[in-house]
Amino acid sequence: MTVDKTSIEKPHNFIQQIIEKDLAEGRVAKVVTRFPPEPNGYLHIGHAKAICVNFGLAQAYGGVCNLRFDDTNPEAESEDYVNAIIEDVRWLGFEWDGEIRYASDYFAQLYTWAQYLIGEGKAYICELTPQQTREYRGTLTEAGKNSPFRERPAEESLALLEQMRDGEIAEGKMTLRAKVDMASPNINLRDPVLYRVKRIAHHRVGDGWNIYPSYDFAHGQEDAIEGVSHSICTLEFADHRPLYDWFTANLPVPSTPHQYEFGRLNLSYTVTSKRKLKQLVDEKQVEAWDDPRMPTLSGLRRRGVSAQAVREFCESLAVAKTDGVVDMAQLDHFIRHDLNDNAPRAMCVLHPLKVTVSNWPEGEVETLTASCHPNRDDLGSRELSFTRTLYIDRNDFSEDSSLSRKKFKRLVLGEWVRLRGGYVLKAEEVIRDGSGEISEILASIVPNTVGENPPEGIKPRGVIHWVSAEQSIDCEVRLYDRLFSDANPDSGDKNFLDAINPDSLEVLKGCKAEASLATAQIEQAYQFEREGYFCLDKDSEDGKFIFNRTISLRDNWQSKV
RNA sequence: UGGGGCGUGGCCAAGCGGUUAAGGCAACGGGUUUUGAUCCCGUCAUUCGGAGGUUCGAGUCCUCCCGCCCCAGCCA
C-alpha cells in the first residue's frame, strides 16, 4: 500500500480515519472511490471539492477512483454535458481508473435485479397516480398508508414491468416500488420508486428503454458492481443511506459498498447549484456556462484560474459534516498565490493617456530589457520599446501637486515618477482638448536613469506602468467582478436573481498593451503590473486581442492612508 | 409536532478528558521593495450555542434547552 505523504501530514478527516480503520482491520483490501456526476449541467467549484476528495483519497491510499456518469434521467441529460464534464475533470488533473463508466451500462443488470426483488415479494408495480402517491406517502409527522397494489402477485408485477419497459404503459401510469415501510419516520423508506416510465430516448443507449431507474435504485448497485469501497457523497443523501443499505442487503450484489457523507462546499457571493447556474445561462444573465463570472470549472478556466489554484483551494477545505459558507476571499487567495508565483509580468495601460517626451528625439527607439518575474529568472525577460510618445494610465496622473507623496505615489505636474523598467519621468505641461479634458502630457525624462537612481534632488513619487504608443497593441479588456452583490444570494427565501451585481462586467476598449503580449495564448496567465492578473479570452481573433481580468492585485493602500 | 445532521474568533477549521484553545483566510500595525503587489515580522478566543451535572481535571463525557441545515420528485 502506498500512502501519499502530503495528505498524511494534515490532520486526518473522519473519512480518512474510517478508511485507515477499514484497511487496518482488513474489511477493505483496496480503496475504490468514484466521482459520479449527472450529466445535466456543467461542473462547478463544489464539484471540484468532491473530485479532489474522491480522487485524492484513492491516491493517498493507493487505490483507484472511477469516473461514472449517473445518467438515469435522460430528460435532463445530454452528451454535451458528458463531454464538458470529461474535459473539466481532465483539466483539473485527475485520472480515472479504466474506462469511463455510465449508470446506463448497468441498465440490464438493474432490470434483472428489479425482477429479483419482485420475485422476493419486495417490490411491486403500483398504479397510484403521482398525486395519489404523494397523498399515500403521508407527511413529516404522519405515517403513510400502504398502496392498494402493494400485495399484488409477483407474476402480475413481473408482467406489468415488462409492459412498462416495452413502452406499452403511458408515463405516470405505473411505477415499480420497493416494499419497505410506509410508516417509517424516514420518508425515503416509504416504498420508494425504483422505476418510472419515461418514453424518451436516452442520449447514450438510444430508445431501447421506456423505463429508467431512480437514483436510489441505481446508485448503490452501481457502486456494488464497480467494487466501490467508500461511496462518498454530500450530506443531503444521509437520509438515503438506509435505503442504500437496504438494496445491497436485499439484492445479490457482488460487493457491499458503504456510503459516507460530508458537507458540500458553499461559497459566498455565488451559487453552487447546477439548477441555479443553468437558470443564469438560460435566462441570459451570463453569456454561457463558461462565462468568466460563473463558478463553473470552465468559467474559472476561461477567466484564467489554474487547475492548481482550484486544487489547492480544495485541499484547504475541511472534509467534515458541517455545512458552512466559505468566504470567496479564500478562493481569491489561492488564485493570487498561484498567479503571483507563476504568471509572467507585462504592462498594459487600461485607460490610456498620451505622454510626449519632449527631450526624446522623434523616431528614436531604445530597446529596454525587462525581467518577466521579479523573483523567477527562469521565466526570462522581454523587450520594451521606449519612444517619444508613450501611454500611461489616466489614473496615474494628477495636476494637483498638493497631494501628499504618501497619498499619491504617481505622476504629478512638476514632479517625477519612475516608469517601470525605464526612465524617471517629469511631467511638465498639460494639454487639453476642446472640452477641457486632458488629452496629453508633455514630459521629459531624466537621462541615464534606466536601472539607475536619479541624481540628488530628484525624488520620484513612485513607479507607474507605461507602454510605447508606437510599439504596442490595441486590446479590449474585460474586468469581471463578483456575480452577486449579496454574500449569501441563496439563503433564506431570497430569490438569488435579485442579488445579481449589475456591474459584474466592465468592458474597456482601446487599451494599450506592450508588444510582447501579441504572442499571448488563450488562457495563459499574465500579471499586468499594478493592475492584476489577466489572460487572453477565446473570443480573441487574429489582430483582435481580448483580455479577461482573472483577479485584481491585492490592494490595501486606500485603507492605510 | 416525525426523522437525519450540525453548532469552537468576522469566515473556514484542528482539537478524539490532562501543557498558556493549532493552522489558513480576512482585518489591523510595522519592515523590505523600480508592481500602493509579493515577501518578512507582529497583533487578533480568560474561552468553545446555553444551563446544569460527572470528574482531581471537560471544548472534549452525561442531561435538558436553544439555534441552523436537509427530507413529504415518478430529480440527483
Structural domain spans, chain A:
29-262, 274-345+475-555, 351-465
Taking the C1' atom of every nucleotide in all shown strands and the CA of A491, the nearest one is: B69
Exposure b/e, A279-309, CB count within 10 A at least 16 = b: ebbeeebbbebbbbbbbbbbbbbbbbbbbbb
- DSSP count for chain A of H helices, then E strands: 14, 27
Give how far Cα A313 sits from Cα of A30, A63, A334, Å.
28, 23, 6
pLDDT tens readout for residues A27-73? 999 999 999 999 999 999 999 999 999 999 999 999 999 999 999 99
| CA separation for the pair A290, A522 (Å, rounded) | 14
| CA separation for the pair A12, A431 (Å, rounded) | 65
Average pLDDT (A398-417) is: 94
CB atoms within 10 A of CB A171: 14
Asked: is A29-262 a CATH 3.40.390.10 domain? The reply is no
The number of C-alpha atoms within 13 Å of A252 and in the hemisphere containing its C-beta is: 9
Nearest residue, CA→C1' of B37 = A553
CA torsion, ordered A165, A170, A173, A178, to nearest 10 deg: 20
How many Å is the maximal CA-CA distance in chain A?
A: 102
Nearest residue, CA→C1' of B14 = A11
Taking the C1' atom of every nucleotide in all shown strands and the CA of A212, the nearest one is: B74
CB atoms within 10 A of CB A59: 21
Q: What is the ipTM of this complex?
A: 0.96
Active site (catalytic) residues of A: 38, 264, 274
CATH number of the domain located at residue range(s) A351-465 in this protein: 2.40.240.10
H or E stretch at A393: strand A389-393
pLDDT at A2 over 80: no
Q: What is the pLDDT of residue A498?
A: 94
Q: Which amino acid is at A177?
A: R
| CA separation for the pair A397, A442 (Å, rounded) | 12
Give how far Cα A143 sits from Cα of A26, A147, A236, A435, Å.
41, 13, 21, 78
Question: Separation of CA A327 and C1' B46 in angstroms?
Answer: 29
Q: What is the pLDDT of residue A1?
A: 34
H or E stretch at A124: strand A123-126
Q: Given this structure, which CATH class describes domain A274-345+475-555?
A: mainly beta
pLDDT tens readout for residues A118-166? 999 999 999 999 999 999 999 999 999 999 999 999 999 999 999 999 9
Average pLDDT (A449-472) is: 96
Instruction: Please state the pTM of the whole predicted model.
Output: 0.96
Nearest residue, CA→C1' of B13 = A318
pLDDT at A3 over 60: no
Taking the C1' atom of every nucleotide in all shown strands and the CA of A410, the nearest one is: B36
Strand B nucleotides, any atom under 7 Å from protein beta carbons: they are 1-8, 10-16, 22, 24-30, 34-39, 69-76
Question: Separation of CA A486 and C1' B37 in angstroms?
Answer: 28
With a pLDDT cut of 90, the percent of chain A lying above it is 95
pLDDT at A113 over 90: yes
Residue A208 DSSP SS3:
coil
Domain A29-262 and domain A351-465 have a common topology: no
Per the listing, cell 456591474 goes with A503
Residue A306, C-alpha cell as written in the block: 489554474
Q: What is the pLDDT of residue A491?
A: 82
> Please, which residues have CB within 8 angstroms of residue A198's CB and are 6 or more apart in sequence?
A73, A74, A75, A171, A210, A211, A212
Question: Separation of CA A54 and C1' B24 in angstroms?
Answer: 22
Q: What is the pLDDT of residue A494?
A: 85
Average pLDDT (A435-442) is: 96
Question: Separation of CA A102 and C1' B32 in angstroms?
Answer: 56
pLDDT tens readout for residues A205-235? 999 999 999 999 999 999 999 999 999 999 9
Q: What is the pLDDT of residue A560?
A: 46
Q: What is the pLDDT of residue A558?
A: 64
Taking the C1' atom of every nucleotide in all shown strands and the CA of A556, the nearest one is: B36
pLDDT at A6 over 70: no
